[in-house]
Chain A
Amino acid sequence: MEKRMLKDENDRVDGVFKVTGQAKYFAEYELPGLTYGVLVTSTITKGKITTLDTKAAEKAPGVISVLSHLNKPSAPGYEQDGGSPMKIFYTDKIFYNGQPIAMVVANTFERATYAASLVKATYAKEEFNTNFDKAVADSKSKKLQGQPDYKRGVENAYKTAEVKIEEKYHLPIETHNPMELHGIIADWRPNNQLTVYAKTQGVKATQGTIANVFKIPIENIQVNSEFVGGGFGMALRTWPVEIATVMASKHVAKPVKLVITRMQMFTMVGNRPAAIQTIGLGANKDGKLTGITHRAFGETSVYENFTEGVVNMAKFMYQCENVNTQYTVVPVDLGVPIWMRGPGEATGAFALESAIDEMAHALNMDPLEFRIKNDPERDQQRNLPFSDKNIKEAYRIGAQKIGWNERKNKPGSLIDGQLKTGYGVSIGVFNANRGRASVKGILKADGSLVLQSATSDIGPGTGTGMTLIASKLMKIPADKITFELGDSSLPPAPSQGGSATLSTVGSAVNDVCVALKSTIAELAANSNMDATANFVDVLKKNNLPSIEIIKQSQAGKEREAYSMYSFSIHFVKVNVHSLTGVVKVDKIVSVGDSGTIVSPKTARSQMVGGAVGGVGMALTEESIIDHRYGRYINNNFADYHVPVNADIPEIEVHFINKPDPYINPMGAKGMGEIALIGFSAAVANAVFNATGKRIRSLPITPDKILADS
């Protein structure tokens, strides 16, 4: 079955592979002599391993080896000083509960799983704290890390404003939980040649990390990651368990496959960090903001530091002369966090966009009107014009589609039997990033075009977007174009993160297509052909089976002259049951303002997916820890509630779809983050509008709705 069955050029180029089960994810490669790794994890939260008994496991049927700090399998980079203290199998220290302490390698998955249960550890325990609220409360006297404070105008100006609010917002730990379990297949062969099949958002990043740890040349390492079963940020780094699997393969001289369990997805591959934020807003009675203060504490680990852009949005999203922000991170005895979709900006937007709604209420203004009144003409933080911003139009479209005129400004006004109805709005914004990437284009005399770049597709439809960019430029039908990715031997591209792939790699696709066209034009001229001659005829006339060009592309000086962002407006209608406190999202309208829409079908899906993620963030998602033991207690899909089909109403997506004149040749900006950023606040604002209850702690569960406040 071939992929060339596109009925519509906007269908996903890999759609047939995905609906027939032919798409191969990392764990699905068959290697001769494949063995299976299963991890043993710490049952204490902090301290040291005193004994580790691996004898029984070593003797169990099918077991080839047991790796741990006792045998320190060779990894030269770990033998040097520096780096993270959590060097897997090179330390006896325990930094968090569920930390991998050994790996059993056996000839079947079942045998490795059984043998792993035979490994016994004893520990010297130490006092620990996994409670972020407590850590923040206890942190007053400690010197903390974070990001530089920001100040524009008068600090804490909100305190002296005509109308002011000051509120605190809580966000729990969330876990990415892509459907595909994390892991890797490592195949270490003689002469230090290594092939890995990885679940990664960046094949080049994985290649570089492994080269660093094992001190082998980059060229010796082949990283394959063609299909990735979701990432949402968790596959933006090469995790210790992946390094452990490479160690294992080197150690046993066989290919080793590791697929971690769903429970282990909560402890080994990061999370969205918990956050406690305080927002102070001041406005005059006419509804103009006069002061914004945003202070945030973010969770980090004791063994590695993690920071993200929680307070970014407050600096530029609203017209205001006086803004100050502060962001610090506070360590707890848990695994290190990592960016999760929307990352810190989504955390910050929950607080800021809730507070904006609170201020509108305090002013007795329509929150939409209040937002429009404080919409900035310029980026006051960078003192630059925006490259492209159509927020007012987006507000207008969204308001009309959700039926905003049905909304009553007085909370609790719309009651039908036991259901209270409310409407909420919020804005999302994220830096329109553009990095540097290379793309190779191979234009063939059979009429086809192959494009290659070491980028990734964790789901947004990278290959589809790139194909459509090339198809439009080259006037070649989409089904004659192949975009190859997920292979470290291809021309370099950055990791898929920060909503930058379309802008970054798409620009290189653009440039390579332009170069191919001009080469064809030259060849045509040289062979006395018409300048508009078809490239197939030109190549044939010149006896060329194909031509190849590699182009590197990156942003230029335009980024110094303009402030570049993608925006989204989320409108939500909710029904809240007055007896049970259950919130049901009844309707969603998301409007994307992110330049040209290159791939309409996949772009719409990305916005839909962000809204679904936003419903989870708003209403159900919370990784809960029993702080007595430092363990997650809802570390599975039955207890950690991601939205299911029945939680999601119909979702309307609209795009402004106007090119950003400065960002890149396509005029297109990323959307992965803005699809989610701000969404949770729209839900919280709708819940307030429905019930008069302001919930400042996510997720908005029925107990919080029903509690006396």
Chain B
Amino acid sequence: MQSSDPKNNQGDSRRDFLKKSSLITAVALTPSVALKAAESQADERFAELFEKIPLNLTVNNKPYQTSIEPRVTLLDYLREELHLTGTKKGCDHGQCGACTVHVNGERVNSCLSLAVMNEGKKVTTIEGLANGDELHPMQAAFIKHDGFQCGYCTPGQIMSAVACVNEGHTTSRSEISEYMSGNICRCGAYPNIVDAIIEVSKGETKA
């Protein structure tokens, strides 16, 4: 797959740029190693190294130190890197809410947030909501009121529902519906979801 074809196309030019820029930086550091690596077609790994930038964040109270390509979304980072797959991909465009997580306590569509934008922030996903084996009251209420069918939108619904209660948008059924309308449920569990939120907002469900 390596090529020295002089007819540059988009991919080649991008890669060449990376190669050059990485080499310039690398030469200043360890010229012989870098040059040798480039010659032995290991430039790919260098490119990879220099395409990534460092990231420190906390997910479900656990600190993570990593380096990551800036184009990786928080959603893909959670799912593909950390294997926290409770956060779902439903559209990748911020239109369905399946990827909802809490960032510093506020609900966020994780598909619309690049992972690197969350430097130093505290992320909570559905996996971090329960207290060990003890379900969060919202999780218990979703089971009690059957606030889901296939379950795919459910983590996002629950993260939004918890935020909805925290935000105080639970004064009526219609207000809850309005503030939960960023989370689509194609199975159509909406009335049950509202029932669950009403119960939690009244403090009736104990996990």
Hey, which bits of chain A sit against chain B, CB under 8 A?
Answer: 1, 5, 7-8, 11-12, 14-25, 27-28, 30, 55-63, 108-110, 115, 118, 177-181, 227-232, 259, 261-262, 458-461, 601-602, 604-606, 608-613, 636-638, 642-651
Contacts and interface: CB of A to CB of B under 8 A. Distances in A.
Interface in B178-201: 178, 180-194
Given A18-B151, A259-B89, A636-B95, A179 B186 contact: yes
A530 to B, nearest CB: 39
Contacts of B48: 61-62
A459 B187 contact: yes
A648 B95 contact: no
A605 B186 contact: no
21 contacts: A15-B142, A19-B155, A20-B129, A21-B125, A21-B127, A27-B79, A27-B85, A30-B83, A57-B11, A59-B2, A60-B11, A61-B15, A179-B185, A180-B90, A181-B89, A230-B149, A459-B151, A604-B146, A644-B182, A647-B181, A651-B191
Given A605-B189, A609-B188, A644-B181, A19 B142 contact: yes
Interface residues of B, number: 76
Interface of B: 1-3, 5, 9-12, 14-15, 44, 47-48, 51, 69, 71-72, 76, 79-80, 83-93, 95-96, 98, 125-127, 129-130, 133, 135, 139-140, 142-144, 146, 148-155, 158, 173-174, 176-178, 180-194
A611 B191 CA distance: 11
A645 B186 contact: no
A608 B193 CA distance: 12
- Decide if the interface of chain B is mainly helix, strand, loop or mixed: loop
B99 to A, nearest CB: 11
Nearest to A638: B95
A23 B155 CA distance: 10
A30 B11 CA distance: 30
A178 B152 contact: yes
B10 A61 contact: no
A52 to B, nearest CB: 14
Contacts of B151: 14, 17-19, 23, 227, 229, 459
A650 B173 contact: yes
Nearest to B76: A109
A198 to B, nearest CB: 15
Nearest to A648: B190
B84 A262 contact: no
A433 B80 CA distance: 41
B155 to A, nearest CB: 5
Contacts of A5: 135
B15 A60 contact: yes
B149 to A, nearest CB: 4
B90 A179 contact: yes
Given A12-B146, A56-B11, A608-B192, 8 more contacts: A19-B148, A28-B79, A181-B90, A230-B187, A609-B187, A612-B188, A637-B95, A637-B96
B152 to A, nearest CB: 3
A334 B206 CA distance: 52
A344 to B, nearest CB: 20
A229 B182 CA distance: 18
A19 B143 contact: yes
Nearest to A111: B69
B156 to A, nearest CB: 9
B15 to A, nearest CB: 7
B10 A648 contact: no
Given A56-B9, A59-B3, A262-B93, A18 B154 contact: yes
Contact of B11 (A18, A59, A108): A59
Contacts of A230: 149-150, 152, 186-187
A19 B158 CA distance: 8
